[in-house]
Amino acid sequence: MREVNVGHKRIADYRSIVSRELMAEIEELAARLRGRRILHVNATAFGGGVAEILYTLVPLLTDVGLEAEWLVMAPPPRFFTITKAFHNALQGREFELTDEVKMAYETVCCADAADLRRDYDVLVVHDPQPLAIRHFVDLAEGSGAHWVWRCHLDTSTPDRGLSEYLTPFVNEYETAVFTLPEFALDGLTVPVCSIAPAIDPLAPKNMALSREDARYIVDQFGIDVDRPLLLQVSRFDPWKDPLGVVDVYRSVKKERDDVQLALVGSMASDDPEGWDYLEQISAYVEGDPDVFVLSNLDNVGSIEIDAFQSHADVVLQKSVREGFGLTVTEALWKARPTIAGAVGGIPLQIEDGKTGYLVDGVATCAERCLRVLAEPERHREMALRGKEHVRSHFLMPRLLRDHLRVYVDLIEGKTLGGA
């Protein structure tokens, strides 16, 4: 495995953004953990929400007095083809689990287990890719390490065969953390905690951009900044339903001929399926000059995504399955009118009609888009309520606090399950 260089961040920089009570609780918990060694393990350092979280969470853990590290897997390419299939199956797609697949998966996790040092106090393993590492770590040496599995997926309706295969691996941990309690897999015997993800308001992707700067950046990609723009930022993944977003755009365009659509994503190293789906999307738009399919391959980075989200008239996240949806959080934080699928963790963020709109199909989504475009001032007020909801619930210091609570409970031997 490879260690990720996360640089430095200071919790003090967030004092003007979140409450004094939250900052005080972070200080109190951190004092009880000072010097403890924490390790996070996941699949990739680039291209997904977990990586974005860890680039802030890990240095903040260090800043408050812990010794935090982050390791990522470096397996052969076929491993990520397998674990992408795991990802899809855990979210409900049928999957044929063979002995060959099991062997390939376990071989990589066994090799990565051999790379781990034995002197961590808490190890947090993210999602199914590195899940089995815990199984292959020999604890006979008397290590006092505590193990946490953090699942970021909506695993409420998994493929039964895969769930039955992976659940025993989860039960070897001391606790499993899901975004929502109902995501917990059947057959778990370990305590289950629920913790919602969060965004870093001080990261380049979420820093405040002036209207002029956002327009200038968006204009560089050939988009007419004087015409309305619908936007979805997400991986190119069928669960995000980008083809459905194109259908929404086409429906809206029948009444608003001036509307444009941007589908903006990133290609992640642990998502080989994304390349094929990007080709499907590009073919589906049929060369429409008002549809822009962009990614990091087109030089779209964090600042560019910030500009798109800050400029868009409507931000969509038309997911059909979603663990949480950090792109929803980002759009709300930028006070943009946001319309998203009523699935997974999205309803934690959007109260329908108050902080945004929840939808369940193309027709409803298109109608809400037209409503936003017709009444921009009313929906500006809605968007501001969404921003304050994010400030109260989904910024990084709150997530830091929740992690510290779990670590304290594990190390001090308290009953888990209420984080």
Residue range 2-198+395-411 forms a domain whose CATH class is alpha beta
| Residues whose CB is less than 8 angstroms from the CB of residue 280 and which lie 6 or more positions away in sequence, other chains included | 243
Which range, 114-118, 233-237, 349-353, has the best average confidence (pLDDT)? 349-353
Q: Is the fold of 2-198+395-411 the same as that of 211-393?
A: yes
Average confidence (pLDDT) over 71-80? 93
209 CB-near residues (< 8 Å, 6+ apart): 217, 306, 307, 310
Over residues 267-274, mean pLDDT: 69
Residue-wise pLDDT tens digits, 145-157: 999 999 999 999 9
Please report, rounded to a whole number, the percentage of residues in the chain having pLDDT higher than 90: 88
Residue 273, pLDDT score: 76
* Boundaries of every domain in the chain: 2-198+395-411, 211-393
pLDDT at 265 over 60: yes
| Confidence bin at 419 (pLDDT 50/70/90) | very low
Q: What's the rounded Cα separation, in Å, for the pair 170 and 45?
A: 23
At 220, the pLDDT band (50, 70, 90 cuts) reads very high
- Give this prediction's pTM: 0.94
Return the minimum-mean-pLDDT range out of 1-5, 235-239, 274-278, 379-383.
Answer: 274-278
Architecture of domain 211-393: 3-Layer(aba) Sandwich (3.40)
What residue has token string 């992976």?
A: 166
List, in order, residues 6 or more apart from 374 with CB less than 8 Å away: none
- Helix H, strand E, coil C: the string for the chain is CEECCCCCCCHHHHCCCCCHHHHHHHHHHHHHHCCCEEEEEECCCCCCHHHHHHHHHHHHHHHCCCEEEEEECCCCHHHHHHHHHHHHHHCCCCCCCCHHHHHHHHHHHHHHHHHCCCCCCEEEEECCCCCCHHHHCCCCCCCCCEEEEECCCCCCCCCHHHHHHHHHHHCCCCEEEECCHHHCCCCCCCCEEECCCCECCCCCCCCCCCHHHHHHHHHCCCCCCCCCEEEEECCCCHHHCHHHHHHHHHHHHCCCCCCEEEEECCCCCCCCHHHHHHHHHHHHCCCCCCEEEECHHHCCCHHHHHHHHHHCCEEEECCCCCCCCHHHHHHHHCCCCEEEECCCCHHHHCCECCCEEEECCHHHHHHHHHHHHHCHHHHHHHHHHHHHHHHHHCEHHHHHHHHHHHHHHHHCCCCCCCC
The pLDDT mean for the chain works out to: 94
13-69, pLDDT tens digit by residue?
999 999 999 999 999 999 999 999 999 999 999 878 999 999 999 999 999 999 999
Q: Is residue 323 over pLDDT 90?
A: yes
Q: What's the confidence (pLDDT) of residue 122?
A: 97
Residue 338's pLDDT band (cuts 50, 70, 90)? very high
Position 270 scores a pLDDT of 60
